Amino acid sequence: MVYLFGLFVLLSFTPTHASAAEGDLFVIAQVSDQTVTSGVSSREPVAGVKISVFDSAGSLVGEGISDSNGEVKILVPARATYSVKLDTSTLPNDLTLLTGTTDSFTIAEETFTTQTKRVSFFIGDSGVSNTTLVEKISQRAADGVRLGLIIALCSVGLSLVFGTTGLTNFAHGEMITFGGLMAFLLNVTLGIPLLLAAPVVIALGGAFGLAFNWLIFARLRKRGIGLVSQMVVSVGLSIMLRNMFLFQFKGRTRPLDDFSLQQGMQIGPIRITPRDLTTGIISLVLLVTVALVLQRSRTGKAVRAVSDNPNLASATGIDTQRIIQIVWCAGGALAALGGIFRGLDEQVGFQMGSGLLFLMFAGITLGGLGSAFGALVGGFLVGVMVEMASLVVPSELKNAPALLILILVLVLRPQGILGTRQRVG
């Protein structure tokens, strides 16, 4: 089974130029009315806008009018260089192109690697809305809760692997990326609805975690390789996978087809899309479920026992190797689901998981190294702190306060919030 899975991964990540050459080719343009509220953008589709596509010689290839979803789908004859232009005279009277944006895009031939190529135009009346301090804080808190739930969801496997094996897995971010890229492959490239593709992606994520353990780390443990050496292997594995993803996916980010453009709902002072609200609820339900499983089920109690003391757990009859396999499988599945949610939130890219890695480390350190409950609490708090920090620091630096807290926790309370002190010596 593992070899079949490896073959599937190999086939999935080989270049797709040949398969994309079969069938019609399209340029899809999206027109969105974007409003930025305290640094958070909300987008609504704009209908009735004319979009035209020209070839490199300036000849018209096709044109269309944006529909109720703000989209125009234009058939093109071949992979080539095209210019996509928005007719500003067809914009609604109260809207113009946002400052710094353009009314035309050039699609280079070498970037036309799939059967569809997407471009986005952003318009609005001013681009920024005036909000009160209470509204800014409320919006940031809501965004922080959503980010914290995703970080916590992704961190559980990382924390449990550390607790059961002692391994600091730097390749865990690539497990998240794997989930996002598999979702893109199934949803965008193969056209499978995301609701049907998601269970397949989660299963593949679990198999990916098992493959990590069975092919690499279980063999290293069996040979008595030290934890520092295993950590170095995980770093090398992370670099290798990231470059494989870059080779296949290239350096740009792309949206998933489903739920990529939705109107925000106003809930009190908070504006949120149905997609983000749904992913937040699902993440919360799953985290509560994981907590209950760890607390009450036989397997969950065995996982906590192995995390607390592997040797003692083994002496009491617990199959520690089986528990480690379960942890790797569950961690990979949750990471893949986190990759789907992150892809819906921030689009899919080759380093989407590595961008969350140090936030996950900050979360599990804050909550307590090796503690599943610590990962839940710490990841949630880190997400909230990251978004709230953008109220006082530039958005480019919003991760810095979380990493500063990581340093302070290591200095002042190394065991974290839910960790316990251990006597050394």
Q: Please check the confidence at residue 328 and state whether its pLDDT lies above 50.
A: yes
- Please report the pLDDT score of residue 40 as a whole number: 52
Give the CATH class of 133-412.
Answer: mainly alpha
> CA angle at residue 273 from 33 to 194, to 5 degrees?
105
Q: pTM of the entire structure?
A: 0.72
Query: Could you give the residue ranges of the DSSP H alpha helices within 26-170?
Result: 133-165
| 244-246-247-249 Cα dihedral, nearest 10 degrees | 110
Q: Read off the pLDDT band of 318 (50, 70, 90).
A: confident
38, 139 Cβ separation under 8 angstroms: yes
Which H or E run contains 11? helix 2-12
Q: Please check the confidence at residue 414 and state whether its pLDDT lies above 80.
A: no
Q: Locate tokens 């449990």: which residue?
A: 160
Q: Please check the confidence at residue 387 and state whether its pLDDT lies above 70.
A: yes
Q: Please check the confidence at residue 53 and state whether its pLDDT lies above 60.
A: yes
- Please report the pLDDT score of residue 341 as a whole number: 92
- In the chain, what are the domain boundaries? 24-124, 133-412
Q: Which residues pair with 29 in a beta bridge?
A: 72, 119
- Please report the pLDDT score of residue 47 as a whole number: 83
Over residues 208-215, the mean pLDDT reads: 92
Q: Read off the pLDDT band of 49 (50, 70, 90).
A: confident
- 17-21, 107-111, 135-139, 323-327, range with the lowest pLDDT: 17-21
Q: What is the largest CA-CA distance in the chain?
A: 78
Q: Please check the confidence at residue 63 and state whether its pLDDT lies above 80.
A: yes
Over residues 227-242, the mean pLDDT reads: 93
- Please report the pLDDT score of residue 237 as a whole number: 93
Number of Cβ within a 10 Å radius of residue 300: 17
| Ranges assigned E (strand) in 13-130 | 25-37, 40-45, 50-55, 60-65, 71-76, 82-86, 96-97, 104-107, 116-124
What are the tens digits of pLDDT across the range 139-185? 888 888 888 899 989 888 888 888 888 888 999 999 999 999 999 99
Q: What is the DSSP string of 264-276?
A: PEEETTEEE-HHH
- Please report the pLDDT score of residue 171 as a whole number: 93
Q: Read off the pLDDT band of 116 (50, 70, 90).
A: confident
Residue with more model confidence, 183 or 93: 183
Topology classification of domain 24-124: Immunoglobulin-like (2.60.40)
What are the tens digits of pLDDT across the range 404-413? 877 887 787 7
Q: Report the half-sphere exposure of 151 (CA within 13 A, side-chain side).
A: 34
Euclidean distance between CA atoms 46 and 289, whole angstroms: 40
What are the tens digits of pLDDT across the range 255-293? 888 887 666 777 878 888 888 889 999 999 998 898 889
Q: Which residues pair with 93 in a beta bridge?
A: none
Q: Please check the confidence at residue 14 and state whether its pLDDT lies above 80.
A: no
Euclidean distance between CA atoms 392 and 31, whole angstroms: 32
Over residues 296-316, the mean pLDDT reads: 85
- Please report the pLDDT score of residue 130 as a whole number: 55
